[in-house]
Amino acid sequence: MKTIISAFLLFVSGISAVPAYGVDSESFVAQTNIPQASYPRVDSRNRAHFRIHAPEANDVKVDICGHKYDMKRGEDGHWTVVTSPLVVGFHYYFIVVDGVSVIDPSSEAFYGCGRMAGGIEIPEDTAVSAYYTFDRNIPHGQVRECRYYSEIENSDRRCFVYTPAEYETEPSRRYPVLYLQHGMGEDERGWHQQGKMANILDNQIASGKCVPMIVVMDYGNCGYIFGARPGETRDEFGASFTPIMLNELIPFVEKTFRTLTDRDNRAMAGLSWGGHETFQTTLRNLDKFSHIGAFSGALFFLSDGLENAYDGIFNDAEKFNSRVHTFFLGMGTEENFGSDKISEALTEAGIKHTYYSSEGTHHEWLTWRRCLNEFLPLIFKQKDDVAYEN
């Protein structure tokens, strides 16, 4: 404990305010830095430059998603390192000081990996990233932090709710709702902060690519890493979220916001374990949902045979296709989560669906931003006349 406290005091005493001298003229401040922090930086080769003031430390490393870079100590007590080129997109990272892993005070904090972490964005080309970039020339919606009480958990819960820009100017209009879930080790902040969800929605709505909608992001009860709770099985992990969503979250949202409440105007999607929760929730409650998406979903049902999945829901393709208006699977080409194999099995069974492959991306936020961008134009379109009625 003494070592941890000492490392913390070392950080807060000298790291956050880093002088700009010695800055590489070909690099620029990372967009994920706190105000006035000159480091970390990113250069034209997508390398990250880190500089830490820790004069009493003996060993300092930067840990980016498990890849550790040794930092070099200068005579002035600053430790520096330049990483190898990183793939574009968002990366969680930590600073390891004498064996203690902490957050870089020069970075904004993000909840991921089952804890608060630093983050660094390696930017894509401006034209490529336009779909998730803030556009000052279009109307913007709001993301609200909401709290409600769960009788099931006997405690309060938090969710974030996006409302489109026109929600404030069209007081008689009701909107379809997308329930959007995070993955393992993350929480309800993830889609708004790391996923840039609001920018994606604003840009699509402004261009007419998707219909205006409300988006709800709640804690999926899987914000820790599986195995951290002794004795918990895989089937139990995050399973407590489904009854909360059906019996408490949806009623809260429909009471609080101007929503369309029929199944044709209700969607659910999620990334990784949130994709697993989406299938567990929707495929056993098709009376409540007609649009379903899994982005790099943690989906295991093929191991028991498609015919046995979700009480045989896929055995009658004609019935399934008539009830589910959107069925979406997406995955990065560099990950191995099996969505491609599931897509092949669904096609063979006659189940209509959309499969999207994100070129060059791993199990990461850039994959999920792209998946959301592909999913949004598909949902609620078959009921345009209902979605826009007053």
Q: What is the DSSP string of 186-223?
A: --TTHHHHTS-HHHHHHHHHHHTSS---EEEEE--S--
In this structure, the number of other CB atoms found within 10 A of the CB of residue 383 comes to: 18
- Concatenating the DSSP letter of every residue in 99-115 gives TEEE--TTB-EEEETTE
Which region, left, alpha or beta, applies to residue 89 given φ > 0 means left and ψ of -120 to 50 means alpha? left
- Concatenating the DSSP letter of every residue in 65-95 gives TTEEEE-EE-TTSEEEEEPPP--SEEEEEEE
pTM (2 decimals)?
A: 0.91
pLDDT score, position 382: 62
Q: How far apart are CA 328 and CA 182, in angstroms?
A: 16
pLDDT score, position 226: 95
Q: How far apart are CA 242 and CA 224, in angstroms?
A: 17
Task: List all residues 6 or more positions away from 150 whose beta carbon is below 8 Å from its beta carbon.
Answer: 156, 157, 244, 248
Element (DSSP H or E) covering residue 241? helix 241-244
Q: How far apart are CA 174 and CA 229, in angstroms?
A: 41
Pairing outcome for strands 177-181 and 214-218: parallel
What letter does residue 231 receive in the DSSP assignment?
Answer: T
Could you give all domains of the chain from N- to C-terminal order, each with its CATH number?
2-123 (2.60.40.10), 130-387 (3.40.50.1820)
Please report, as a single letter, which amino acid is at residue 207: S
Q: Hey, is 31 helix, strand or coil?
A: coil
Q: How far apart are CA 56 and CA 162, in angstroms?
A: 46
pLDDT score, position 6: 41
Of 181, 193, 18, 46, nearest to 117 (Cα)? 193
Tokens 């669906």, residue?
353
Of 272, 224, 277, 271, nearest to 246 (Cα)? 277
Q: How far apart are CA 64 and CA 316, in angstroms?
A: 46
Of 117, 340, 97, nearest to 225 (Cα)? 117
Reading the chain (390 residues) residue by residue, the pLDDT tens digits are 444 444 443 444 333 333 333 445 589 999 999 999 999 999 999 999 999 999 999 999 999 988 999 999 998 999 999 999 999 999 999 999 999 999 999 999 999 999 999 999 999 999 999 999 999 999 999 999 999 999 999 999 999 999 999 999 999 999 999 999 999 999 999 999 999 999 999 999 999 999 999 999 999 999 999 999 999 999 999 999 999 999 999 999 999 999 999 999 999 999 999 999 999 999 999 999 999 999 999 999 998 899 999 999 999 999 999 999 999 999 999 998 899 999 999 999 999 999 999 999 999 999 999 999 999 999 998 644 444 333
Phi and psi at residue 352, to the nearest 5°: -70, 130
What's the distance, CA 305 to chain centroid?
A: 29
What letter does residue 123 receive in the DSSP assignment?
Answer: P
Phi and psi at residue 357, to the nearest 5°: -115, 120
Burial of 81 (0-12, 13-18, 19+ CB in 10 A): middle
pLDDT score, position 337: 87
pLDDT score, position 24: 55
- Concatenating the DSSP letter of every residue in 348-359 gives HTT---EEEEET
